[in-house]
Amino acid sequence: MRHPRAATFAAALLLLLAACEREQRRFAEIAPSSSRPPDSRPSVVNPYEENAWAVSEGQRLYTWFNCRGCHAMGGGGMGPALMDDAWIYGAEPQAVFTSIAEGRPNGMPAFGQKLPAQQVWQLVAYVRSLGALTRKDVRPGRTDTMQARPAPVMTTPATPVQRP
Ligand code: HEC
């Protein structure tokens, strides 16, 4: 090769660029879907699950939109727990998206009219991080409140089961 140094530099740069995904802050982005994804499609990928900033935005929205009022910090209250392995409507990103955007019949309000799809996907990423269903290095390392449970980064992965 004529420029071995240049090649090494280019390779290092590529590696660096690839490593930055977790830390990227994408302020304008087209969400994976701007409408309701069908529950039957298992392959919807939520790019926010790879991005620490988006997950912490989801964490902020979780408090702002008072998800805590019903689900507490994930352990559940009047609404079901979101950090355990039992899911009524499914743990897949698109099922969680539908739960949040359209609401569910037994008391889950619809947030689709209040939030753009992008922020619903950030909530999806955060909710799934509560059950350790997302990449560990992207899960929030701390919360701004008293911690009643270990931070999501400390959680062991759950195996989701769907109950009737
Ligand atoms: C007024 C209380 C209330 C609020 C506020 C609320 N939820 Fe819920 N949520 C519920 C209830 C009750 C259910 C169960 C609904 C059912 O069984 O049909 C539920 C279900 C869910 C589910 C589906 C869980 C499963 O097991 O499949 C998700 C995900 C969820 N909520 C997320 C959120 C998020 C995120 C927010 C905030 C943006 C939020 N909820 C705000 C009461 C609430």
Q: Is residue 14 part of a domain?
A: no
Residue type at position 1: M
Q: Is residue 63 part of a domain?
A: yes
What pLDDT score does 7 carry? Answer: 76
What pLDDT score does 144 carry? Answer: 65
What pLDDT score does 61 carry? Answer: 96
Give the 3-state DSSP-derived string for 58-76, with helices as H, strands as E and coil as C.
HHHHHHHCCHHHHHCCCCC
Domain interval for residue 109? 43-143
Q: Is residue 24 part of a domain?
A: no
Q: What is the CATH number of the domain that holds 85?
A: 1.10.760.10
Give how far Cα 134 sits from Cα of 71, 107, 120, 141, 161, Å: 19, 26, 16, 13, 16
What pLDDT score does 5 carry? Answer: 80
Q: State the distance from the centre of ligand 1 to the C-alpha of 53, rounded, in angstroms.
A: 23
Q: Is residue 91 part of a domain?
A: yes
Q: Nearest residue CA, atom 15 of ligand 1? A: 106
Question: Which atom of ligand 1 lies at the shortest distance from residue 96's CA?
Answer: 29
Count other C-beta atoms under 10 Å from residue 136's C-beta.
13
What pLDDT score does 136 carry? Answer: 87
Q: State the distance from the centre of ligand 1 to the C-alpha of 23, rounded, in angstroms.
A: 29
Q: From the CB of 88, is ligand 1 less than 6 Å away?
A: yes
Question: Which atom of ligand 1 lies at the shortest distance from residue 66's CA?
Answer: 5
Q: Is residue 3 part of a domain?
A: no
Q: Is residue 72 part of a domain?
A: yes
Q: Is residue 163 part of a domain?
A: no
Low-confidence residues of the chain, pLDDT below 70?
1-2, 12-20, 27-43, 144-148
Structure tokens at 43: 């392959």
As beta bridge partners, residue 86 has 161
- Number of structural domains found in the chain: 1
Q: How far apart are CA 46 and CA 52, in angstroms?
A: 13
Question: Which atom of ligand 1 lies at the shortest distance from residue 86's CA?
Answer: 26
Q: From the CB of 123, is ligand 1 less than 6 Å away?
A: yes
Are 93 and 45 within 8 A, CB to CB? Answer: yes
What pLDDT score does 72 carry? Answer: 87
What pLDDT score does 2 carry? Answer: 64
